[in-house]
Structure formats: C-alpha cells, structure tokens
Amino acid sequence: MPRQVTAFSNTTVKRLRSLRDKKARRSEGLFLAEGLRILTEARDSGRLPEIIAFSAEGAKHPLAAEIIAVTETAGGEAIETSAEILSKMSGKDNPQMLLGAYRQPETALERIDRAKAPLWIVAQALRDPGNIGTILRTGDAVGAGGLILIDDCADPYSVEAVRASMGAVFTQEIAAARWPDFLRWLRSGDGQLVGTSLKATGDYLDAEYGQPCFLLIGNEQQGLPEDYEAECDLLVKIPMAGRADSLNAAIAAAVMAFAVKASWRSGNSG
C-alpha cells in the first residue's frame, strides 16, 4: 500500500525534489519523469520507476492506478502526497498529478548496436535541455535508434529534457562520449557521418545518404567546429532563404532527419 506523505521534510520527498539538480541525479543514478502520458510511455517500454509519487486525484485514473500497483509489486516505493508537494518536486505551479524517479541507463557508447536502426542523431555540445528533449522526440518519430551526445551537452535526464522528449527518453538509446572516442567507435563499423555546413556545396535534398546514417548536429551558438566538419563523410547545405544563416539546432536535426528518410523512400539510398 502506498504511504501517505504530507511533510516537506520527508526523506523520500526531499530525495525526489533533489533530482531536479544534476549532481543529485548523477549521485543517485535516478531522474524524474512527470505525468501520466510519459509514465505510460515508460511502462509500455518496459520501464518502471523506483519511486512513484502521486496525489489522490492522480491515482484515480485507471492507468495511473495500474502503474502505481505494478511499481509496488516490482518492489518500488509509492507515496501519496499533496499537489503542493508535487509542485515543489517538479518546480511547476501546475504540477502533474503523478511523477516517477527512474534509474538512468548506462550511456557507454559500446552499448549501442548501430545495426538496430538506419539513423542515429549525434549532437555536439548542445546546451539547451529543451533541444535535447525535442531531438529525442523527433528521433522517435523518424525511427532513429537514439541520440549520441558528444562533448559537454546539457543533461538528457534533466526535468526540462525529459518533459520535451514526451517520453522518447525511454524509447531512444542515449549515449555520451568525447569526440575522439566517438570517432574511434564510429570507424570500427559501418556508418556514414553526415554534417550540415554553410560551406558545403551539395544541397541536402540531392545527397545520397548511407545506412546507418549518423547525423551530426553542432552547438547552438558555434555550430560544428571545423575539425569536426572535416571528419564528416558527407557535408550538405540546407539553403537559407532569409536573412538568417542558421536554424535552431533541434529544427536542423528534424529537417535533416526527415530529408534522409524521404531520400530512402524515393530510392535515392547510398
């Protein structure tokens, strides 16, 4: 049976609350996901929280009740608490009525089976957690295998990233690596590394994309470093019609990912 918890000073409440902080996420190895939709996505992907917190109102939904029950059966901790405490945990004025703390998977590159998907997204030094989450969501939509984070990226397990991923944090593989280690891993098997660059001459719509295709997306401010571009097997250009010379990083990832998929469909595959 779930425990009733009404004190902010309760250990579990404090522990869940601490997970908004990166250091605590790292030391605990846990992260927060909120809302029935995302927790259902997790369950459907075979993932249950180690701790689940909810309001009496939140537990009324049959799907929520089921997730709470299986979490307890699996040995997880369940606490029923107030909307006010849920609000403190999530940092939102209008919190979701259900939230869970999940174990962070290992992010070693060696865990990735590149043959599992024709497309992988590789993000370099992305600083905005919303962009990371949105790229995960887009990756899920295009059938990518996952997201490989290069150099210092925002935490994919931050509350903002998990929220923006709309559950894709549970369905996409997530790996992290320094650039030299990524290159070594990449070259140890099949794979075309594709970058976008304003200096490229080939239009992104005319290119031949191989499989597996690794789409490399650069930092929000600086784009890709030159020596990273130089390692790409293919550099393409997304033509810009207006005054701007760049796209938002998550937008660039999506435009490229959908174009790669479209090229395969039209039989333009490498």
Q: Is 171 in the site for a second copy (CB under 8 A)?
A: yes
CB 55 within 8 A of CB 88: no
Q: Which is nearer to a second copy, 76 or 167 (CB)?
A: 167
Which of 36, 87, 251, 268 contacts a second copy by CB under 8 A? 251
Report 122-161 residues binding a second copy (CB under 8 A). 130, 134, 137-143
Q: Is 1 in the site for a second copy (CB under 8 A)?
A: no
Q: Is 250 in the site for a second copy (CB under 8 A)?
A: yes
- In the bound complex, what is the minimum distance in angstroms from residue 178's beta carbon to a second copy? 26
Report 193-212 residues binding a second copy (CB under 8 A). 205
Q: Which is nearer to a second copy, 138 or 158 (CB)?
A: 138
CB 253 within 8 A of CB 161: no
- In the bound complex, what is the minimum distance in angstroms from residue 231's beta carbon to a second copy? 26
Q: Is 55 in the site for a second copy (CB under 8 A)?
A: no
Q: Is 262 in the site for a second copy (CB under 8 A)?
A: yes
DSSP state of 207: P
For the stretch 129-163, what's the b/e string if a residue is b when 16 or more beta carbons lie within 10 angstroms of its beta carbon?
A: bbbbbbbbbbbbebebbbbbbbbebbbbbbbbbbb
Cα distance between residue 226 and residue 198, in whole Å:
12
Size of the site for a second copy (CB under 8 A): 36
Stretch of residues binding a second copy (CB under 8 A), selected from 2-10, 108-116, 193-201, 256-264 = 256-264
Cα distance between residue 44 and residue 185, in whole Å:
31
Which of 1, 73, 201, 265 contacts a second copy by CB under 8 A? 265
Q: Which of 146, 142, 89, 77 is nearest to 114 (CA)?
A: 146
Cα distance between residue 201 and residue 236, in whole Å:
7
Q: Which is nearer to a second copy, 1 or 241 (CB)?
A: 241
Cα distance between residue 143 and residue 174, in whole Å:
14
- In the bound complex, what is the minimum distance in angstroms from residue 245's beta carbon to a second copy? 9
Cα distance between residue 257 and residue 161, in whole Å:
19
Distance of CA 94 to the CA centre of its chain: 23
Q: What 3-state class would DSSP assign to 228?
A: helix
Q: Is 166 in the site for a second copy (CB under 8 A)?
A: yes
User: What region, left, alpha or beta, does residue 113 occupy, with left being phi > 0 and alpha being psi -120 to 50 degrees?
Assistant: beta
Q: Is 269 in the site for a second copy (CB under 8 A)?
A: no
Name residues whose C-beta falls within 8 Å of residue 73's C-beta, 6 or more positions apart in sequence. none
Report 30-49 residues binding a second copy (CB under 8 A). 41, 44-45
Report 205-244 residues binding a second copy (CB under 8 A). 205, 238, 240-244
Q: Is 190 in the site for a second copy (CB under 8 A)?
A: no
Contact positions toward a second copy, by CB under 8 A?
A: 41, 44-45, 130, 134, 137-143, 164, 166-168, 171, 205, 238, 240-244, 246-248, 250-251, 254-255, 258-259, 261-262, 265
